[in-house]
Amino acid sequence: MTYEEWQILGLTLRTAALSTLLIVPPGLAIAWLLARHRWRGKSLVETLVALPLVMPPVATGLILLKLLGRRGPVGGWLHRTFDMDIVFTWRAVVLAMMVMSFPLLVRALSSIETSSVKCASGSTTSRRVTLTRASAGRPR
């Protein structure tokens, strides 16, 4: 591989790792709340969390562009307050990765948490569900 290709690979790995680290704490919290409790507005939160998965990717990208651009509410505030631009930077890549992977993380964690709640021994159930799901993807 050329030097430029190694740089691209490195950027991809760094942004993926950072986005994963940033979504795990709120993803764990929301998955736990969705799996363990019944509360008013729960279906609204579930819908908002799943929204990036059901919307066309172009629509999701345009919404992020509109929000995070210099004329957008979030991007304009960041530019005025901190002189920071988001769009067309590595920060935008991290945010886009976070938006698209957050629903997948919450869905996976809440299904494991739900199975743990329904059985007496949560750790055994979580391990069994995780290993079962992991083994379903392996070649036979």
pLDDT tens for the chain, residues 1 to 140:
999 999 999 999 999 999 999 999 999 999 999 988 888 999 999 999 999 999 999 999 999 999 999 999 999 999 999 999 999 999 999 999 999 999 999 999 888 766 665 555 555 555 555 555 555 555 55
Is 96 inside any structural domain?
yes
**Measured distance CA(6)–CA(9) in Å, rounded:** 5
Is 93 inside any structural domain?
yes
Is 134 inside any structural domain?
no
Containing structural domain, residue 83: 9-37+48-106
Is 124 inside any structural domain?
no
- pTM listed for this prediction: 0.78
Is 114 inside any structural domain?
no
Q: How many CA atoms lie within 13 A of 101 on its CB side?
A: 17
Is 84 inside any structural domain?
yes
Number of compact structural domains in the chain: 1
Is 24 inside any structural domain?
yes
